[in-house]
Amino acid sequence: MKRVLHNVCALLIGCIILETVASQTLNEKLALLLNRDDLLCPEECLFTHQHHYFRDDMECCMCLAQPFWMLNTSNVGQISVSFLQDNTPFVTVNNGTYVEFYNVTLQYGNLSTIPKELCNINGLVYIDFSYNHISVIDAMTCIKSLDTFIFRGNRVRYLKNNVFSGMRYLRVVDLSYNELRNIEPGLFLHVDGSLSFFDVSNNFLENLDISNIIWEKQDYFCVSNFSFNVLRNMTNVMSWRCDIHADLGHGGYTDFTYNNFTYFVDIAEMGFYDITLLGKLYFYSFDFRFNRWMCDCRFFPLLNKSNIANQILGSAHHGLKCHLPPEYKDRFVSEFIKEQDLLICNISFADKCPPNCRCFYQPSRNRTVVTCRSSLISHKLPLVLPDYVNLVIDFSSNRISNLQVEFQRLLSEERTFLIRTKEISFASNIIKDIPDIVFVALNNATKINFMNNLITRIPKSLKTHRPCDVLFGTVNISCGCSDIWLQNWLPSSGHCFNNTRVMCHTSAGLISILDIDKYLIGCSDADSITMWVQICLGICLCCTIVSALIINQFRLEMYILLREYLFTFRQMSNSPPIAYDVYISCNEQDPNLRKWITYTLLSYFKDKRLSVFLPYRDCQPGTPREDEIRETMAKSRNMVIILSEVCDDISKPWLSLELRYAWLNYRNDWRRNIVIINYDLLETKDLSDKYIKAFFRLGKCIDFSNYTKDINPKVISLIRH
C-alpha cells in the first residue's frame, strides 16, 4: 500500500515538474514572440489539443495570457481624474505604497480630451475612459507603457494609422461604440508590439482596407472585431499584393458579422492575384455571417476552389448564408460548391442587354447567355449585345425573316457581337433563305440552330461548319445539282444524324438527299467547256508534278546553293552563342587520321586562332555522349566532317549522329557551315548519307589527294569566321 502511494506521489510530482517546465517554456516562447516578458500563459494552453477552438498553444496564449500585474491588483496604483471649476481634468496619483504600475479609470465622466499629464506617468498600463466624450485619441501615443486601452462609447471618428506606433506593450484596444467612419490604411503596419485584441465593433465603418484586415507584421493576434458596422466593401488603396513567398502568419479571428457586405469582393483586386494565394490565410478565421450576401457570380472564384472555400467559409461557426437573390435567401453559400452553375450575374440594360431580353454571365461555364425568345418586338436583331466573350444567344420565336438585311446591318458595326458568339439559335422564325454571309460571319460558333423555319435553300458556306455544329431539323427543299455537296457533307449516321435531314421533293415524293441519284435531279456530267478547263488543269498538274519531282530530287543541292547565295543578305539570327569555331567529326579509331589531325590540322587552326572541339579529346568523361555532341554542335560555327571508311562498330553510331546534328544545325541557323574533307577518297556511290551526297555532287568537298600541298588553306577558305 505504502509502495503504491509512493509511486503515485512520485508520478504526481513528476507531472507537476514536467508541467511547470513546459509552461515555463510556453511563457518564454510568448516572451520571444512578443518581445516582452510580463505575460503569463495559463496552464490550460498546454492542453490545446483538448481545446476545440485554439489550433495551437500560442494561439491560446495570445488570447488568454495576462500580464502578471493584472493577477494581483495590489501591484497597481490608482490614478484618479478630478475636475477643476472649468471642467479641466486634473490628475492625481495616489501612491500610498510604492508601486510600479498605474491604472486610470474614469467611466461615464465628462472627459472630452485625454489629459496631457498622463504622458508623464511612467508605468501607466491601464486606461479605461469608457463612455466619455472624447473625440481625438492622438494624445495617447505618448503613453509608451500602456497595455490596455478601453475607450468604449466615446466619440472617436477617425483613426490615423500611426496612432499606436511606438507603443510596445499595447495589447488590448477597445474602441467599440464610437463614431468611427474611417480607419487609415496600414494601421497594423504601424503597431510595434503585441496587439492582440482590437475591437471597433458598433461604429460606422463603411469601407475597410485590406491592410487593416491582414496583419502582415504580426504573427499572431486574438480577435479583430469589426462587427456591427456598415461595411460594404473592401479596398486596396496601397495596391498591396500578396507575394508568392509571403508568410501571412497565424492571424487570428476576424469578426465581420452584422455588416452590410453584399457583393463578394474581387479577390484579385485585394492583392491575391491568384486565388490559390488565399491559402496563405489558412490560420485566419473570417466570420462573414449575418451580412446581406448576394449569391451571384462573384462567389464563383472562391467556390470553384472548394478547398479554399471550406477553409474560409466552411468551418463550423462560419455558416455563411445568402440574403439575395430572393430565390436563394437563407441558403448556405457552401451549397453552391456543388451547384456552381447557379452562380450567375444578371446583365442589365445599361450593360447592353437588349430590352425585354434576359442576359446573364455564368462563370462556371465561361459563357454569357442572352435570351431574347419572343421578345424582339421589331422582329429585328439587336445591334449590340453585352461586351462579353462566348455569347450564347437565343433569338428564337421572333418572326425574323430577312437574314440578309439583318446580317448586313450587324456587320456594319465596328465590333459586332457575331465574332464573340459561341452558340446562336434562330429556331422557330420565318426564315426562308439563309444567305452565305451568315455562316461566314458565325465562323466561331459551335452551335447554330435553324430548326422550325421555312428554309428553301441551304447555302454552300455551311460547309465551313461541322455537321454536328448546325441544327436544321428536317428541311424539305427542291433539290438541284448545286445541292449535291450535301451528300458528302451530311453524316449518314451517328449522333448528329438527326441534326439536319434534307429531303428533296421528287415525283416519287420526299426522298432524303442522301439516297437520291444525282442524275435523277438532272445533273449531267461535265459539258465541253468544263472538259477543256479540265484538260488545261490536267496539263498544269503534269507540269507541276514534273517540276516537283525535280525539285524533290535535288532539293538538298538547291537548298545549299540558295543558302550560300542568301547568306550575304541574312545576318545573325538569335541562336545560341557560338563557343567553338570548329567542331571536328572524324573516325577516332583511325590512328593515321588522328595523327594528321593532331599534328597538321590542329596546329594550323591554332595558328589561325580558331577554337576547336575535338570529341575524342574534349568530351567530358561521364557525360552522355549524345548530349554532349548535341550541345557542343549547337555552339559550333563550323562543322568539319572528315569522311573515312569506318569498319568498327564503336564509332559508327557516333559519326552518323554527328552527321545528323550537323545537318540540323546547318539547316536551322544561317551562320553555320559544313566543311567536308574526303579523307579516304570515297566516291558518291560509297556514301550512304543523302546530305553528304548533296555536298559531294556540288563539289563542295575537299579531296585529301593533294594533302601535302594546299589542303589546310583550302579548309580555312571554306570555314566561316
Ligand X SMILES: *[C@@H]1O[C@H](CO)[C@@H](O)[C@H](O)[C@H]1NC(C)=O
Residues forming contacts to ligand X in the complex (CB under 6 A) are 70, 72-76, 93, 95, 103, 105, 109-110, 122, 126, 176, 201-202, 206, 223, 225, 227-228, 230, 232-233, 235, 253, 255, 260, 263, 269, 296, 304-305, 325, 327, 344, 346, 363, 366, 389-390, 419, 443-444, 497-498
Helix (H, G, I), strand (E, B) or coil at 368: strand
For residue 585, the minimal CB distance to ligand X (Å) is 48
What residues contact residue 296 under an 8 Å CB cut-off, 6+ apart?
Answer: 263, 325, 343, 344, 345, 346
For residue 407, the minimal CB distance to ligand X (Å) is 12
For residue 432, the minimal CB distance to ligand X (Å) is 24
Is the CB of residue 178 less than 8 Å from the CB of residue 151? yes
Phi, psi of 645 (to 5 degrees): -75, 130
Q: Where are the beta strands (DSSP E) in 507-543?
A: 509-512
Q: Closer to ligand X by CB, 356 or 482: give it.
A: 356
Q: Closer to ligand X by CB, 73 or 611: give it.
A: 73
For residue 168, the minimal CB distance to ligand X (Å) is 18
CA distance 546 to 67: 99
Q: Closer to ligand X by CB, 362 or 665: give it.
A: 362
CA distance 247 to 243: 8
Q: Any idea how long the chain is?
A: 721
Q: Look at residues 442, 448, 445, 511 and name the one whose alpha carbon lies nearest to residue 483.
A: 511
Sheet holding 197-199, edge to edge: 89-93, 76-83, 101-105, 124-128, 148-150, 172-174, 197-199, 220-225, 251-255, 285-287
Q: Look at residues 168, 186, 179 and name the one whose alpha carbon lies nearest to residue 203.
A: 179
Q: Closer to ligand X by CB, 108 or 532: give it.
A: 108
For residue 140, the minimal CB distance to ligand X (Å) is 16
Cis peptide leading into residue 363 (ω within 30°): no
Question: How far from 577 is each of 632, 673, 682, CA to CA, in Å?
Answer: 11, 15, 34
Q: Closer to ligand X by CB, 176 or 585: give it.
A: 176
Question: How far from 497 is each of 403, 412, 493, 509, CA to CA, in Å?
Answer: 26, 36, 5, 21
For residue 657, the minimal CB distance to ligand X (Å) is 42
CA distance 710 to 720: 18
Name the residue with cell 591554332.
606
Q: Inter-axis angle of helices 690-697 and 555-567, to 10 degrees?
A: 60
Q: Closer to ligand X by CB, 130 or 665: give it.
A: 130
CA distance 115 to 91: 8
Report how far apart the first and last C-alpha atoms of the chain are (Å, whole number).
102
Q: Closer to ligand X by CB, 417 or 696: give it.
A: 417
For residue 346, the minimal CB distance to ligand X (Å) is 4
- DSSP tally for the chain: helices H, then strands E: 17, 31
Question: How far from 325 is each of 186, 262, 321, 344, 354, CA to CA, in Å?
Answer: 34, 10, 11, 10, 22
For residue 381, the minimal CB distance to ligand X (Å) is 16
DSSP 8-state class, residue 264: P
- Alpha helices of 250-345 — where are they, by DSSP H? 300-304, 306-309
Q: Look at residues 361, 364, 378 and name the one whose alpha carbon lies nearest to residue 336.
A: 364
Q: Closer to ligand X by CB, 365 or 595: give it.
A: 365
Q: Closer to ligand X by CB, 14 or 325: give it.
A: 325
Q: Closer to ligand X by CB, 323 or 714: give it.
A: 323
For residue 30, the minimal CB distance to ligand X (Å) is 19
For residue 194, the minimal CB distance to ligand X (Å) is 16
Q: Inter-axis angle of helices 555-567 and 528-553, to 10 degrees?
A: 70
Q: Closer to ligand X by CB, 323 or 594: give it.
A: 323
CA distance 321 to 338: 15
Is the CB of residue 632 less than 8 Å from the CB of residue 582? no
For residue 405, the minimal CB distance to ligand X (Å) is 20
For residue 439, the minimal CB distance to ligand X (Å) is 10
Q: Closer to ligand X by CB, 305 or 672: give it.
A: 305
For residue 382, the minimal CB distance to ligand X (Å) is 18
For residue 219, the minimal CB distance to ligand X (Å) is 19
For residue 550, the minimal CB distance to ligand X (Å) is 40
Q: Closer to ligand X by CB, 201 or 651: give it.
A: 201
Name the residue with cell 455537321.
467
Q: Closer to ligand X by CB, 185 or 615: give it.
A: 185
Question: How far from 683 is each of 36, 327, 597, 643, 698, CA to CA, in Å?
Answer: 91, 88, 22, 11, 13
For residue 499, the minimal CB distance to ligand X (Å) is 9
Neighbours of 332 (CB within 10 A): 16
Q: Closer to ligand X by CB, 509 or 622: give it.
A: 509
Q: Closer to ligand X by CB, 98 or 519: give it.
A: 98
Is the CB of residue 250 less than 8 Å from the CB of residue 283? yes
Q: Which amino acid is at 452?
A: N
